[in-house]
Amino acid sequence: MKTKNIMIVGVGGQGTLLASKLLGKILLSKGYDVKVSEVHGMSQRGGSVVTYVRYGDKVYSPVIDKGEADMILSFELLEAARWLEFLAEDGVIITNTQQTNPMPVITGAAEYPADLDKKIKALGVKAECFDALSLAVEAGSSKAVNLVLLGKLSQHFDFSEEDWMNAIETSVPPKFLEINKKAFTLGKNA
Amino acid sequence: MKTLMLGNEAFARGLYEAGCKFVSSYPGTPSTEITECAAKYEEIYAEWAPNEKVAMESAYGASLAGKRSFCGMKHVGLNVAADPLFTLSYTGISAGMIIAVADDAGMHSSQNEQDSRHYAVSAKLPMLEPADSSEAIAFAKLAYEMSEKYDTPVIIKMCTRVAHSQSIIETSDRVEAEDKKYEKNIAKYVMMPGYAKLKHPIVEARIAALTEFAESTDINRIEKGEDNSIGFITGSTSYQYVKEVFGDKYPVLKLGMVNPLPVKKIKDFAAQVNEVIVIEELDDIIESHCKKIGVPCKGKELFGFVGEYSQNLIAEKMGISIPKNKKVEDAIPGRPPVMCAGCPHRGLFYTLKKNKVNVIGDIGCYTLGAVAPLSTVDSVLCMGASVSGLHGFNKLSEENAQKSVAVIGDSTFMHSGITGLVNIAYNESDSTVIILDNSITGMTGHQQNPTTGFNLKGDPCTKIDLEALCKSVGIRRVRVVDPYDLKDCDTALKEELAAKEPSVIISRRPCALLKYVKHPGPISCDKDKCIGCKSCMKIGCPAISIADGKAVVDSTLCTGCGVCSQLCPKDAPKN
């Protein structure tokens, strides 16, 4: 099979790494060759972050280039717009509609563009935009946004409920397990 | 069992499986996790050293004592450790010794983009370069064998995309390496001219022997292709990009060993193809070697010296179309990293800005003080350069001395700031050094250091007393301030700048992200009181924004540090 490319993008501190870890775990258990690339160090601290997940029969490059992503899972709307040029022509972008102002917007040096979700759709891109934050709060914690988004992403895979739940159970600390499972389910049904 | 493993973690696994017993490193992105992961194995003694030079010399000492040893660092760390490196090439080792250096092409987290392969060439040391996690394990094991066989430290060069990518590995059991017995041998280990002169020819002979090894080792392998019109010579991540674009179409000479480079193997490969193309990130080490041995090739003229390569870059330069894409028309504002909400550096940097001082900066989270709206850093060069740079800046200018400071973190101060402070005391410049003591090495992700009272394994240990240390080198004016207390910071800064002698201000408060730090909890802004003056916006706190002309505090980010409250003329922030 041709190598599949999934990008997970967001703001440093939003929990993008847990999402890629979970995804990597499931893909590995299904027998795929997998590569997951992360960003550490200076790129965190509230900056724009990206994780690349690639899987297939044989994966070479650890990164995804412009126009190559089959799916982009975005934790924040501005980040969805920023990384959109990495989406393949027939790719799907799933984004949280939550907006977090970057420092240039906070200081007034730049403006947060309006209606980005509509503008992305207007380009003819397959976009699934939804409020993951509200669902995370409904599940019991605003920090569970990552599991809500992963739940939404799971609609595009034919892995069983059990596969996902196993991966969650082995990646999340026990005391947050119930909230995370609930968040995943809410995302899956969104 | 097959597992997904980060390159750095896999490297640590390789060290473990090969019987490594001693690890000493200084943290630096993207190398840090090698040492953190090695520390998790009970069989390995692992420590953070105050800097890379100390780490390398300690690893040398452990090798001399007969234990397989390791030290790891980022590319610029190898500059610090370059002194022992060059002479270690002469002494050689007793038990196997590996040095890891992690380059950062693309400068994800670094101040320059230097190519560490030059060190291997000029110090005449073998260097291996893994291209994924599985090779990171295999090369660590091979490096110990080579080290002991050829009596040399072996450098393993990582890069961001190998260090911070997970790929599939298979683990095996640890094989204990028998300790070597220490034997006094001054001709081997005492490098003064008489003995060093005898050693240099041995170093040259070793490089010749290693070149023979490079001809035969299977980590320099030729992968056959279907079309011999082009042949690629490449290694590390560049190899992955070449394979991504071309698959098995063209033959590839994949080099796992980048110093010394083979001669015959390259010539044989070149003879099989019409045109040789060398693909290597940063400098033209392989390309220059090919040209030197009479193999015509192309490389840098196509791909350049700057930044990271990628599959699209290689495809495009090779005349292959790259995928189309779409983007929104709006300008997308950047999202640079910022000081976190509750960061103790913020209050201090606000004070520096308010007093319009020149700030000679250093390497750490507080480098972010250079970014708007704080915009209070004038210079950042390398680890420790704030303190020594300030001395030079002030020494012949009284005007500078009265309005300039150095800012340096606790870990960076222990790394190489202390020697600069000795210089300030000894050569008497009226300099004011501010140590930002947040009780941790922050930027690289919370590593312990000599001032924190804990070691790498998390056990309590001797804690360096910064006040006593500064006093003991001859600084009479040493005072501590709380960076959350703006008045305290302002008074201290004004008094120490006015003082006609060297001084140190220790700005002390633990990093807001440390788990043990208890925060008062988020504040909110009283909309009726807020007059929209934006005084609270001057500190660049990511938790504060303006909506409808009034300040709004993001309760998911705010820690309640209270710095903004001190700036509000109307007492609008409330707990």
Provide the pLDDT confidence category of residue A108 given band limits of 50, 70 and 90. Answer: confident
Q: Helices A177-188 and A145-154, interaxial angle, to 10°? A: 40
What is the ipTM score, two decimals? 0.95
| Angle at the Cα of B31 from the Cα atoms of B207 and B220, rounded to 5 degrees | 35
E-state strands within B7-128? 22-25, 45-48, 69-74, 97-103, 127-128
Return the structure tokens found at B563: 């710095």
Region of B8 (left: φ > 0; alpha: ψ -120 to 50; beta: rest) is: alpha
With beta carbons under 8 A apart, name residues in chain B contacting A106: 537, 540, 542, 544-545
Mean pLDDT value across residues A32-46: 80
CA distance A100 to A112: 9
pLDDT at A41 > cutoff 80: no
- Distance in Å, alpha carbon of A165 to nearest chain B alpha carbon: 19
Residue of A nearest to B544 (CA): A106
pTM above 0.90, yes or no: yes
B311 → closest Cβ in A28, A44, A61: A61
Low pLDDT (below 50) residues in chain B: none
Interface contact flag, A35 B3, Cβ < 8 Å: no
CA distance B413 to B433: 10
Rounded alpha-carbon distances, angstroms, from residue B456 to B48, B70, B146: 6, 15, 29
Return the structure tokens found at B423: 């210089």
- Looking at residue A1, its pLDDT comes to 87
Interface contact flag, B340 A109, Cβ < 8 Å: no
Residue type present at position A175? K
Residue of A nearest to B244 (CA): A60
Q: Enumerate residues 25 to 84 of chain B having a beta carbon within 8 A of any beta carbon in chain A.
A: 29-30, 32-33
CA distance A63 to A68: 10
Residue type present at position A1? M
* Chain A contact present for B330, CB below 8 A: yes
Provide the pLDDT confidence category of residue A43 given band limits of 50, 70 and 90. Answer: low
Strand partners, B503: B432, B477
CA distance B212 to B209: 5
- Looking at residue A42, its pLDDT comes to 57
Interface contact flag, A40 B164, Cβ < 8 Å: yes
Interface contact flag, B327 A85, Cβ < 8 Å: yes
- Looking at residue A12, its pLDDT comes to 85
Cβ neighbourhood burial of B398 (10 Å; 0-12, 13-18, 19+): exposed
Residue of B nearest to A142 (CA): B556
Interface contact flag, A63 B6, Cβ < 8 Å: no
Q: Are A148 and A183 in contact (CB under 8 A)?
A: yes
Interface contact flag, B109 A106, Cβ < 8 Å: no
Return the structure tokens found at A102: 């970057």
Chain centroid, CA B292 distance in Å: 32
Give the distance between the most distant pair of CA atoms in chain B: 82
| Beta-carbon pairs below 8 A across chains A and B | 189
- Distance in Å, alpha carbon of A172 to nearest chain B alpha carbon: 17
Residue type present at position B231? G
Chain centroid, CA B22 distance in Å: 20
- Distance in Å, alpha carbon of A37 to nearest chain B alpha carbon: 4
* SS3 category, B404: strand
- Looking at residue A44, its pLDDT comes to 61
With beta carbons under 8 A apart, name residues in chain A contacting B232: none
